[in-house]
């Protein structure tokens, strides 16, 4: 087992990783920018090293600084969290080259799945159904247009290196296509330094359903059920739940099995999430994330499994501690992403936190590094807390969530708690009847 793990991240996930390590008797090293000196995980870690100025390029993405911190602290494992360097195959490679263990999947799997075109080709060959679209990258406008016409409008132009809901262009009719393709390639080059784009049939009313997996590198892979992440704004998740209100046991088992069989063939190691759009009873793969996800706690709530602990154990060379038959799903869980932003305009609202009170009680979990008097720096993502509620049924979970949101106090800044409180009162949401565009349509109606 590791003796000392360096946490190459910040915010609530850095705290989550610290907590898992502490419970496993592993010492922790926080690396942080000058803007995060007062962060909760920096205070709690056994050691802390400042690795640079606020800009992520100079700190959380600064590989030489992170490795230097690993060396001076004598760390043996490096956990990248999510975002930042978590899906950077080069980073995984360099970490291992220098004799540290990268707590995550193999460099090769990160690389394959990081290129969405290659990812789609790979999983299709492994037997996973994908969204209909171009076979590979498209660059020639005439050829691309012919493909789009065959597929039928609307089509989505997507960046091969895209992420975080960015790098997509919707085209509804043929005469918009050439300009959209050009714009997509230019934007993709600017954002991801890669102008490769591909086409996908645009699904009008799908749900986003993703399957959580874990493998130990021996070919043994277990799935931990699905999460429904259909409540999105600008292709970014706002609230997630497990299990999905749209799936029955048979559908859950079938997609779980398909994913497990596919990933067993490549001997997948560590945590991974296979993302699908789900429409009219059919699953269509969109991408695979080779890392711990923001929304992992809903899976932990319904399975009782500590995903981070398992991920660390596997990285240390241990086999999976359970079989598929050991997994029992219990009750229902919902996560609300609490952001420092105005609940209607979504304008970010960093700054000084006044009073702070997190809800508690049975079935309520809050993952957050916030405390009264903490100043949220303006340089990073606006996610400041995750409220995760578990109940024996979906209805119990909703009642508890309503209660917990009502107790949550974060003063001094704008937060999106009122939006969540509003959302969970909507009849469509109560009925579990929503799709990936539902939230944006709801927001438009409110204007």
Pick the stretch among 84-92, 196-204, 385-393, 421-429 that binds ligand ADP (CB under 6 A): 196-204
User: 150 burial class (0-12, 13-18, 19+ CB within 10 angstroms)?
Assistant: exposed
Among 20, 148, 286, 314, binds ligand ADP (CB under 6 A): 286
Which residue number, 235 or 426, has a Cβ lying nearer to ligand ADP? 235
CB of 109 to ligand ADP, least distance (A): 16
Q: Minimum CB separation from ligand ADP for residue 210, in Å?
A: 9
Extract the tokens encoding 249.
């046991």
Site size for ligand ADP (CB under 6 A): 18
Q: How far is the CB of 316 from ligand ADP (least distance, A)?
A: 29
Q: Is residue 233 flagged as an active site residue?
A: no
Q: Which of 10, 291, 365, 400 is catalytic?
A: 291
Residue among 286 and 320 whose Cβ is closer to ligand ADP: 286
Q: Which is nearer to ligand ADP, 59 or 293 (CB)?
A: 293
Instruction: Pick out residues in 369-398 that bind ligand ADP (CB under 6 A).
Output: none
Give me the least distance between CB of 200 and ligand ADP, in Å please.
4
Tell me whether residue 138 or residue 366 sits nearer to ligand ADP (CB atom): 138
Alpha-carbon gap, residue 28 to 349, rounded angstroms = 30
> What is the footprint of ligand ADP within residues 312-371 (CB under 6 A)?
none
- Pairwise CA distance, residues 277 & 283, whole Å: 6
Q: Is 131 in the site for ligand ADP (CB under 6 A)?
A: yes
Distance in Å, CB of 197 to ligand ADP, minimum = 12
169 or 208: CB nearest ligand ADP: 208
Q: Which of 111, 208, 390, 420 binds ligand ADP (CB under 6 A)?
A: 208
The pattern of x and - marking residues 213 through 242 that bind ligand ADP according to CB under 6 A reads -------------------x--x-------
From 263, 436, 439, 442, residue interacting with ligand ADP (rule: CB under 6 A)? 436
Token pair 């749209």: residue: 246
Minimum CB separation from ligand ADP for residue 379, in Å? 21
Three-state SS sequence of the chain = CCCEEEECCCHHHHHHHHHHHHHCCCEEEEEEEHHHCCCHHHHHCCEEEEEECCCHHHCCCCHHHHHHHHHHHCCCEEECCCCCCCCCHHHHHHHHHCCCEECCCCHHHHHHHHCHHHHHHHHHHCCCCECCECCCCECCHHHHHHHHHHHCCCEEEEECCCCCCCCEEEECCHHHHHHHHHHHHHHHHHHHCCCCEEEEECCCCCEEEEEEEEEECCCCEEEEEEEEEEEEECCEEEEEEECCCCCCHHHHHHHHHHHHHHHHHCCCEEEEEEEEEEECCEEEEEEEECCCCCCHHHHHHHHCCCHHHHHHHHHCCCCCCCCHHHCCCCCEEEEEEEECECCCCCCECCEECCCEECCCCCCEEEEECCCCCCEECCCCCCEEEEEEEEECCHHHHHHHHHHHHHHCEECCCCCCHHHHHHHCCCHHHHCCCCCCCHHHHHHHHHC
Shortest spacing between CB 280 and ligand ADP, in angstroms: 13
Select from 136, 79, 41, 15 the least CA-distant residue to 314.
Answer: 79
CB of 118 to ligand ADP, least distance (A): 14
Nearer to ligand ADP, 2 or 284 (CB): 284
Q: According to CB under 6 A, which one of 2, 60, 202, 278 is a site residue for ligand ADP?
A: 202
Q: 110 vs 131, which CB is nearer to ligand ADP?
A: 131
Stretch of residues binding ligand ADP (CB under 6 A), selected from 57-65, 79-87, 202-210, 404-412: 202-210
Q: Which of 53, 54, 141, 163 binds ligand ADP (CB under 6 A)?
A: 163
One residue of 241, 287, 300, 414 binding ligand ADP per CB under 6 A? 287
Question: Which parts of this chain interact with ligand ADP (CB under 6 A)?
Answer: 131, 156, 162-166, 200, 202-203, 208, 232, 235, 275, 277, 286-287, 436
| Active site (catalytic) residues | 291
């Amino acid at each position: 087992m590791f003796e000392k793990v360096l946490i190459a991240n910040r915010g609530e996930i850095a705290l989550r990783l610290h907590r898992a390590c502490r419970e496993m008797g592993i010492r922790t090293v926080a690396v942080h920018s000058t803007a995060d000196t007062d962060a909760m995980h920096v205070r709690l870690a056994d050691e802390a090293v400042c690795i640079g100025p606020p800009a992520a390029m100079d700190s959380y993405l600064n590989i030489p600084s992170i490795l230097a911190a690993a060396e001076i602290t004598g760390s043996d494992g490096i956990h990248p969290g999510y975002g930042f360097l978590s899906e950077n195959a080069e980073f995984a490679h360099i970490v291992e080259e220098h004799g540290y263990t990268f707590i995550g999947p193999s460099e090769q799997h990160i690389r394959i799945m990081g290129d969405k075109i290659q990812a789609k080709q790979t999983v299709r060959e492994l037997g996973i159904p994908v969204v209909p679209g171009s076979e590979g990258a498209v660059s020639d406008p005439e050829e691309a247009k012919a493909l789009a016409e065959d597929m039928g409008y609307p089509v989505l132009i997507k960046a091969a290196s895209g992420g975080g809901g960015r790098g997509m262009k919707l085209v509804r009719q043929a005469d918009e296509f050439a300009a959209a393709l050009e714009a997509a390639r230019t934007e993709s080059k600017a954002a991801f330094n890669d102008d490769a784009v591909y086409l996908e049939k645009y699904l009008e009313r799908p749900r986003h359903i993703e399957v959580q997996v874990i493998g130990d590198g021996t070919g043994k892979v277990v799935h931990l059920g699905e999460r429904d992440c259909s409540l999105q704004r600008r292709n970014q998740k706002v609230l997630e739940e497990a299990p999905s209100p749209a799936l029955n046991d048979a559908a859950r088992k079938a997609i779980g099995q398909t994913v497990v069989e596919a990933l067993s063939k490549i001997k997948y190691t560590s945590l991974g999430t296979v993302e699908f759009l789900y429409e009219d009873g059919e699953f269509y793969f969109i991408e695979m994330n080779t890392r711990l996800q923001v929304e992992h706690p809903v899976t932990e709530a319904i399975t009782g499994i500590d995903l981070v602990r398992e991920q660390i154990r596997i990285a240390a060379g241990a086999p999976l501690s359970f079989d598929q038959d050991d997994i029992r799903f219990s009750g229902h869980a919902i996560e609300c992403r609490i952001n420092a932003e105005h609940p209607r305009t979504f304008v970010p609202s960093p700054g000084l936190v006044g009073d702070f009170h997190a809800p508690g009680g049975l079935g309520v979990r809050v993952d957050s590094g916030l405390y009264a008097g903490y100043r949220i720096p303006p340089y990073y993502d606006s996610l400041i807390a995750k409220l995760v509620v578990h109940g024996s049924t979906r209805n119990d979970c909703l009642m508890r969530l309503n209660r917990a949101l009502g107790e949550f106090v974060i003063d001094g800044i704008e937060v999106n708690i009122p939006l969540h409180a509003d959302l969970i009162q909507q009849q469509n949401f109560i009925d579990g009847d929503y799709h990936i565009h539902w939230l944006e349509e709801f927001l438009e109606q409110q204007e």
